[in-house]
Each structure stands twice: as C-alpha cells, then as structure tokens.
Amino acid sequence: MQEHDMSWVRTEMTLAQPAPSSERGLTAWIRKNLIATTGDAILTIVGIALVAMILPQIVNWAFINAQWIGPDRSVCATVAQGGIQPDGWTGACWAFVNAKFGQFMFGTYPVEERWRPIVVAILFVALLVPLLIPRVPRKGLNAILLFLALPVVAFVLLVGGMFGLPHVETSRWGGLLVTLSLSFVGIAVSLPIGIVLALGRRSNMPIVKLLCVIFIETVRGIPLITVLFFASVMLPLFLPAGVSFDKFLRALIGVSLFAAAYMAEVVRGGLQAIPKGQYEGADSLGLSYWQKMGLVVMPQALKLVIPGIVNTFIGMFKDTSLVIVISMFDLLGIVKQNFSDANWATPQTARSGLVFAAFIFWLFCFGMSRYSMYTERRLDTGHKR
C-alpha cells in the first residue's frame, strides 16, 4: 500500500454557484424560448408580425376608436353613412350595447318587474358561490337549496301569477335570462337522467339496455336543431288536441334530453373505469343494487369524469344559443334581433353586439372549464395513473 503524504478530503460542500450568465435573465429566456434555432427565429418573426398586424387593430377598434355612449346610430356611423364620425372611421359601437343592455339581459321582460330576475340572480349567486368553495360547510343543505328550493322560488318569481305578482309570459323572457335558466335547468335535469341512462346501458336487463342504447345513439347521431324541431313541431302532435305546452318548456325538454344522452356516455366512461373488484366488494357486503351504485360505484365514477361532465355542461351552455331557430330569444338571439333596429343600424353594430355576446359566453364557459380543472386537481386522490 502506498502512503500518501498529501491527501485532502473535503468535509463540507461548496456553496452552489449561480448559473452562468448565459443561462439567466431575459437574454437566456429569449434565447431559449424565442430564437433557439434558425427555424424558431423565423417562427418568432412570423409570430411577431402576426401579432403586430392584428393586436393594434383590435385595440384600436375595441377601445381607442370605440364609442361608449350615445343616443342613436349617429355616434357609430361615418358622415357618409349619416353619422358624425370622420370617413374611414372604424370602431366598436359599445353605445349600442349600452343602450340595449337591459334587453340583452332580460329580453322584453316588463321593466317594472325586472327586480324579479335580479332577485333570482342574487339568490342563485348566493347559493352557488358557497357550493363552489370547498371550505364552506353544509354542502348537502346548500345543494338542496340550490337544486330543489331555488327552482321553485325562481319559478314563482319569474313566472308570477301568484302572491300578488303579475304574470309574465315566457314569450317575454329573453337575453341572458333565457340562456341561464335554460342551461341551469338543463344541467340540473340532464345529469340525473344521464346517470339513469348510463346505468340502464350497463344493466343486465336486455330490454332496458336496448332501449337506453337506442335512445342514446339516436340522440347523439342527430343535431340539436333536429331535436329542437322535434320538440317544437312534433310534441304538439304527440299530445291530445287542446293540450299545449309552453314553448319555453318545449325547448327545455329538447335541450335536457339532448344533453342527457351525452351525459350518459360520459358517466358510462366513468362506470367502466371502476375496477370490477369494487362492484364485487359491494356485492359481498350484501349491499343492494342502489346502495352499491350510490355508495360505492357512483362516487368514484363521477369523480373520475368531472372534466367530461363539465365539458358537457359547457357544450350545453353554448348549445342554448340554438333556440333561436325555434324563434326564442336567448342572449345571442336578442343581440341578433337588435341588428335590425333602424335606430342603431350601422356597419359596426353587428360586430359590436356579437363581440359583446361572445365575451359573455366566453366568461361563463372559460370560468366553468377553469373551475373543473381546479376540482380535478383537488379531487385527484391518487387513483389515476
């Protein structure tokens, strides 16, 4: 063995050095994310050109040149079009949205009665927000209030005709009121029906299974417009003469049935993902079918398919805009109807109204999808790979 005169063993770690300057800061970030290769650099230039071309135009149109208030079309039209703006002006006509805001929200709901939808909206938010925040207790009571009590209260308040409230025909409802009430009822109705259909499709009883498959596959194979046509043209034929349905109710039935078929497929996906051992375990405990499903399978299955359920909700929320084809006026319908108002007809009106409606729809859908992502993370109990 050779002896070392000089040996040195380090007893403590050296301090970590800062990353080299080429790996830090803005320059490194730009180098990595924007100009890593020649191809990247070209793409970046194309991208910058695209943004530089589009963004200023959008900002100009929506904010800088936009007209926010005004009595009529003259503020949004150029001189040649009979307005006050210089020739070549283009900008959003938010004045139109401003003037029609009440209609966009409530349709032709009588102005002196509009406090009623507002009260319903406040109740809705007051019940929904605590339900969405996980830390707030009493979820069960909250859900019962939201899904059972609120619809009754909302029905009394919105329709009226009792407790001294004047009756308001559903044909006078419109705007966001229709969009929200259609989608709320649709969501509340389609989920239970969808669950039942999914269970039916996986049932051992051949007749029940066949009926569920036929219903689900037929509805999924045809467009919602056809279903709405069906609800508006054929339902009256199916009922005895003299019995007639409210148009709003007919649309509601159509939308709910349509969403239920999609919901059933989503729930079925969740049911299939639950291992067989769970079913067998529940059976061996002597649970009945409904106990097994309600206590063991469904809680796990529904948790797995939350993204799918929310996607179906989002789809349904967007689909409510189709009721325009059976001449009901939801948010999009009422915006479109107001294009023909001679008082406001300018080249900018349609664009402004549609951008406003798109923004509202976008807010709701984006909010829903973000909330579903949050729930998914929170409920992720490690079952998923």
Partner 1 sequence: MASQEVLREEPSRGSFINDPRVRGIFFQALVLVLLVAGVWWVTHNVIVNLARLHIASGFGFLKGRAGFDISESAIAYSSDSTYFRAILVGFINTVIVAVVGIITATIIGFIVGIGRLSRNWLIRKICTVYVEIFRNIPPLLVIFFWYSGVLAVLPPPRESINLPFGSFLNQRGFYFPRAIWGEGSWLILVALLLGIAMAWFVARKARQRQMATGQPFPVLWTSIALIVGLPLLAYALSGFPLSFEFPKQSTFNLVGGFQVRPEFLSLYLALSCYTAAFIAEIVRAGIRGVSTGQTEAAAALGLRSGSILRLVVVPQAMRIVIPPLTSQYLNLTKNSSLAIAIGYPDLTATAGTVLNQTGQAVEGVVIMMAVYLALSLITSAIMNVVNARMALVER
Give the footprint of partner 1 on this chain (CB under 8 A): 32-34, 36, 40, 43-44, 47-48, 50-51, 204-208, 211, 218, 220-226, 229-230, 233-234, 236-241, 314, 318-319, 321-322, 324-325, 332, 336, 339, 347-348, 350-351, 354-355, 357-358, 361-362, 365-366, 369
b/e for 27-63, b at 16 or more Cβ within 10 A? eeeeeeeeeeeeeeeeeeeeeeeeeeeeeeeeeebee
Considering beta carbons, is residue 157 or 324 the nearer one to partner 1? 324
Rounded to the nearest whole angstrom, what is the least distance from the CB of residue 182 to partner 1 in the complex?
13
- Taking Cα atoms as reference points, which of 297, 291, 265 lies closest to residue 194? 265
- Taking Cα atoms as reference points, which of 178, 121, 106, 186 lies closest to residue 330? 178
Rounded to the nearest whole angstrom, what is the least distance from the CB of residue 46 to partner 1 in the complex?
8
Considering beta carbons, is residue 159 or 222 the nearer one to partner 1? 222
Considering beta carbons, is residue 136 or 285 the nearer one to partner 1? 285
Q: Are 267 and 311 in contact (CB under 8 A)?
A: no
Both structure tokens of 101 = 């805001």
- Taking Cα atoms as reference points, which of 274, 263, 278 lies closest to residue 201? 263
Q: Are 261 and 215 in contact (CB under 8 A)?
A: yes
Q: Are 299 and 271 in contact (CB under 8 A)?
A: no
Rounded to the nearest whole angstrom, what is the least distance from the CB of residue 358 to partner 1 in the complex?
5
Q: From the CB of residue 254, how many other CB atoms can be counted at a distance below 10 Å?
A: 26
Q: What whole-number distance in Å separates Cα of residue 73 and Cα of residue 158? A: 33
Show the beta-strand stretches assigned E in the chain.
Answer: none
- Taking Cα atoms as reference points, which of 60, 61, 64, 69 lies closest to residue 97? 69
Task: Based on DSSP, count helices (H) and strands (E) in the chain, helices before strands.
Answer: 17, 0
Rounded to the nearest whole angstrom, what is the least distance from the CB of residue 320 to partner 1 in the complex?
8
Q: What whole-number distance in Å separates Cα of residue 194 and Cα of residue 228? A: 19
Considering beta carbons, is residue 141 or 234 the nearer one to partner 1? 234
Rounded to the nearest whole angstrom, what is the least distance from the CB of residue 144 to partner 1 in the complex?
29
Considering beta carbons, is residue 209 or 303 the nearer one to partner 1? 209
Considering beta carbons, is residue 130 or 315 the nearer one to partner 1? 315
Considering beta carbons, is residue 26 or 111 the nearer one to partner 1? 26
Considering beta carbons, is residue 247 or 336 the nearer one to partner 1? 336
Rounded to the nearest whole angstrom, what is the least distance from the CB of residue 351 to partner 1 in the complex?
4
Considering beta carbons, is residue 303 or 318 the nearer one to partner 1? 318
CA dist 229 → 190, 233, 246, 324 (Å): 19, 6, 15, 11
- Taking Cα atoms as reference points, which of 211, 307, 306, 197 lies closest to residue 256? 197
Rounded to the nearest whole angstrom, what is the least distance from the CB of residue 275 to partner 1 in the complex?
22
